[in-house]
Structure 1
Amino acid sequence: MDLFEAMRNRRTTNGPFLPDPVSEEHQRLLVEVAAMAPSHFNSQPWRFILIDDREIIERIADISGESMRRLMEEGTFWKRYRPYFRFSEEEMEEKRDGIFIDQLPKVLKPFTRHIFSETGQAMMNRLGVPGTLAEDNRRLVAGSPLLLAVMLDRQEYRPGELSAFYSVFGMGAAMENVWLATGALGMGIQFISTPMEIPENWRRIVELLEVPDDLELMAVYRLGYVPRRQRRPSIDWTSRQRRRISQYVFRNTCRTPERDGIGVRQESG
């Protein structure tokens, strides 16, 4: 796949993967391209765990689903990420950022505008929305043939110091290499974010993976081969729009926005 096409076609996989195990060749390739990323003074602060043990995957899936249920039930998720939700194509086109909730069970559609209110939260809890989302989340993680945990070396990653920025920058570059490589291999990838929202649940994953004290667990991803026709979760969203160039690029100083109509297409996923 052409590099620029791979970048334009980069996607996050919200749906299930095929049950086929990820080949050892592809697993090795993914961590090799991660290692090709730039890092400060070639420090290579990243460390990875390739997880294909079914028991460990199931336990992480349970923690992820439980975390989703709690975040939704308590309203934490909606409050924390309220600025990013869009409820119409027109709003998405105007803002050109955030996520567009475009798939909901019919019973919930009348309440989309009220999900940020106490009444809306109570209604969603009565209708079992947190449980539905939690089970969707658990199934997606449990059905993943491979998880990838990303850690940073604490000798390099020292919060409060400039080294922390350099380490996170390097990790981001490494994971972008992995993300682009998955597309070229017919695979998908998704960030498993919900356990990070609840500190005690994140600690459970740290213990499960036996992360030593000299490493910091930063993120966990789910990976697998993508089916030709993907089944979307019960409640799902899209994030295809990208800001116009004039909204995020300046020429020479911040007083002069760059003109639109120049450069790559402003849609991705």
Structure 2
Amino acid sequence: MELIEGMLNRRTTNGPFRPDPVSREHQHLLMRVAQAAPSHFNSQPWRFVLIEDPGTIARVADLSGQSMTELIEAGVFFERYRRYFRFTEAEMDERRDGIHIDRLPGPLKPFTRQVFSDAGLKLMRQLGVPKKLGEDNRKLVAGSPLLLAALLDKSEYRPGELSGFYSVFGLGAAIENIWNTVGTLGMGIQFVSTPMEIPRQWQAIQELLKVPDDLELMAVYRLGYLPEETARPSIDWSSRHRKRLEQFVFRETCDRPEYEKPTQD
């Protein structure tokens, strides 16, 4: 039951970590739970890089912050992900997915629903929001005592073939094992996603980590121990809603939703 409760209470950490280094014992434990994940023919296609060097972390943080600023400034971020934004509790409760934008800087609050429109983007530029978000992102990554790079072995990861699917599926299971373990260690984890949005920035991270030709860098995460209390970022959201059973589960065929309570046929 503790395992199930932990999985149901899993959260992504949007805020800062404590500055304490992550113990070598905990780092190796996270690698062991990743290793326990299922993989096609026990191929174990995953590879990981544990990063503690302050200089490397600072450089990844710079790239992440620059990427965030560029994405917001150009409007690319909102164009790609606008369909996931929810602006009221009622909308969130109906859809049960996406993120509820429930925290904005004071000058933007009157324009909550319009803030991700073209006019709203212009106002955000005038208020310096892209640079503020980029700097917030940089600080979060820079203040992380541990980064984790996840890679795949290209001898197994061959996109367009079934081995490509199997490899991604296996890495996903390995990462999920890590994600479900950090909570029991008093830790948090967050995907460092913005550099992936800009090819040259992602290439810079690969060069920084000296990724060889036979490995594919798939993702970077930041990890650390959680503080007892932390202030929310200036722009933040909640995403605790999950779809109702009938919104994502079917019985026998795809035209028969599965309801929490059985219905009369």
* Aligned ranges 1:146-161 → 2 under 5 Å: 146-161=146-161
Aligned twin of 1:218: 218
Aligned twin of 2:55: 55
- Alpha carbons 1:97, 1:241 under 8 Å: kept: yes
SS at match of 1:223: strand
Instruction: Give the Å deviation of 1:198.
Output: 0.3
1:104 aligns with 2:104: yes
Letter in 2 for 1:95: R
Aligned twin of 2:14: 14
- Alpha carbons 2:108, 2:115 under 8 Å: kept: no
Indicate the percent of aligned positions where both proteins have the same amino acid: 67
Aligned twin of 2:253: 253
Aligned twin of 1:26: 26
* Aligned ranges 1:128-207 → 2 under 5 Å: 128-207=128-207
Q: Distance in 2 between matches of 1:3 and 1:116?
A: 39
Is there any run of 5+ residues in structure 1 with no aligned partner, and where? 263-269
> Can you list the C-alpha shifts for 1:84-142, whole angstroms capped at 9, x where unaligned?
00011111001100000111111111222113322111111001110111111000000
Letter in 2 for 1:229: E
Instruction: Give the Å deviation of 1:260.
Output: 2.2
- Alpha carbons 1:100, 1:237 under 8 Å: kept: yes
- Alpha carbons 2:247, 2:257 under 8 Å: kept: yes
Q: Distance in 2 between matches of 1:234 and 1:165?
A: 38
Residues 148, 261 of structure 1: alpha-carbon distance in 2 compared, 3 angstrom cutoff = farther
- Alpha carbons 1:18, 1:224 under 8 Å: kept: yes
Aligned twin of 1:66: 66
Aligned twin of 1:45: 45
Q: For this pair of structures, how many residues does the alignment match? A: 262
Aligned twin of 1:267: none
Letter in 1 for 2:93: E
Q: Distance in 2 between matches of 1:176 and 1:167?
A: 14
Letter in 1 for 2:58: E
Instruction: Give the Å deviation of 1:261.
Output: 5.0
> Can you list the C-alpha shifts for 1:20-71, whole angstroms capped at 9, x where unaligned?
0000000000001100000000000000000000000000000000000000
Aligned twin of 2:114: 114
- Give the superposed CA RMSD: 1.0
Letter in 2 for 1:200: R
With the length of structure 1 as denominator, give the TM-score of the two structures: 0.96
SS at match of 1:148: strand
Q: Distance in 2 between matches of 1:231 and 1:25?
A: 29
Letter in 2 for 1:180: N
Letter in 2 for 1:61: A
Letter in 2 for 1:117: S
With the length of structure 2 as denominator, give the TM-score of the two structures: 0.97
Instruction: Give the Å deviation of 1:231.
Output: 1.9
SS at match of 2:152: strand
